[in-house]
A and B are shown apart, each in its own frame.
Chain A
Amino acid sequence: MESSVSSEQVQQKVHQESEHTHDVQGTSLFGFIVFLLSESVIFLSFFAGYIALKTTTPDWLPPGVEGLETHDPLINTIVLVSSSFVIYFAEEALKKNKLTLFRLLWLLTSAMGIYFLVGQAIEWRGLPFGFTSGAFGGTFYLLTGFHGLHVLTGILLQFLMLARSFFPGNYTKGHTGVTEVSLFWHFVDVIWIILFCLIYVWQ
Chain B
Amino acid sequence: MTNIPVEGIGIPGEKPKFQPPPGWKRYFSFSTDHKVIGIQYLVTSFTFFLIGGFLAMIIRAELITPESDLIDRTLYNSMFTMHGTIMIFLWIFPSLVGLSNYLVPLMIGARDMAFPRLNAAAFWLIPVVGILLMASFFLPDGTAQAGWWVYPPVSLQNPGGHLISGQAVWILAVAISGISSIMGAVNFVATIVKMRAPGMTFFRMPVFVWTVLSAQLIQLTALPALTAGAVMLLFDLTVGTSFFNSAKGGNPVLFQHFFWFYSHPAVYVMALPAFGIFSEVIPVYARKPLFGYKVVAVSSLLIAGVSLLVWVHHMFTSGTPGWMRMIFMLSSMCVGVPTGIKIFAWTATLWKGKIRLQTPMLFALGAVLMFLFAGITGIMLASVPIDIHVNNTYFVVGHFHYVVYGTVTMGLFAGIYHWFPKMTGRMYYEGLGVLHFWLAFIGTNLNFLPMHPLGLQGMLRRVSSYDPEYAFWNVLASLGAFLLGISTLPFILNLLGAWVQGEKAPDNPWRAIGLEWLVSSPPPIENFAEIPIVVSEPYGYGKDEPLVENAAAVRGE
Contacts and interface: CB of A to CB of B under 8 A. Distances in A.
Nearest to B229: A45
Contacts of A39: 224
B1 to A, nearest CB: 5
Contacts of B232: 49, 138, 142
A134 interface: yes
Interface residues of A, number: 48
Nearest to B519: A3
Interface in A35-52: 35, 37-39, 41-42, 44-46, 48-49, 52
Given A10-B4, A14-B14, A45-B258, A34 B190 contact: yes
Interface string B521-549: 10010100111000000000000000000
B194 A30 contact: yes
B507 A3 contact: yes
Contact of A4 (B4, B189, B224, B241): B4
B129 interface: no
Given A3-B520, A11-B12, A22-B195, A17 B186 contact: no
A31 B220 contact: no
Nearest to B196: A21
Nearest to B240: A132
A158 to B, nearest CB: 22
Contacts of B240: 132
A52 to B, nearest CB: 5
A203 interface: no
Q: Is the interface of A mostly helix, strand, loop or mixed?
A: helix
A139 interface: yes
A65 interface: no
Contact of A138 (B1, B3, B227, B235): B235
Contacts of A11: 11-14
Given A30-B194, A49-B228, A1 B3 contact: yes
B182 interface: yes
- Chain B: number of interface residues, binned into ranges: 35 or more
A45 B242 contact: no
A57 B228 contact: no
Contacts of A27: 114, 190, 194-195
Given A37-B220, A138-B243, A5 B556 contact: yes
Contacts of B223: 38, 41
Contacts of A135: 242-243, 248-251
Contacts of A5: 3-4, 520, 524, 529, 555-557
A96 interface: no
B373 to A, nearest CB: 33
Interface string B260-291: 01000000000000000000000000000000
B193 interface: yes
Contacts of B524: 5, 10
Given A9-B556, A41-B224, A53-B251, A21 B197 contact: yes
A138 B229 CA distance: 13
Contact of B111 (A18, A35, A42, A46): A18
Contacts of B3: 1, 4-7
B310 interface: no
A13 interface: yes
B254 A49 contact: yes
A46 B228 contact: yes
A64 interface: no
A41 B189 contact: no
B124 interface: no
A131 B224 contact: no
A43 to B, nearest CB: 8
Interface string B497-527: 0000000000100000000000111001010
B115 interface: yes
Given A10-B524, A34-B185, 18 more contacts: A3-B520, A3-B555, A10-B529, A21-B197, A21-B198, A27-B114, A27-B195, A30-B194, A31-B189, A35-B182, A38-B224, A52-B251, A56-B251, A58-B249, A131-B241, A134-B248, A135-B242, A135-B251
22 contacts: A4-B520, A5-B524, A7-B2, A7-B12, A8-B2, A10-B4, A10-B524, A10-B556, A17-B531, A18-B111, A21-B197, A21-B198, A22-B195, A23-B194, A31-B194, A38-B185, A38-B219, A41-B222, A49-B258, A135-B250, A137-B241, A138-B242
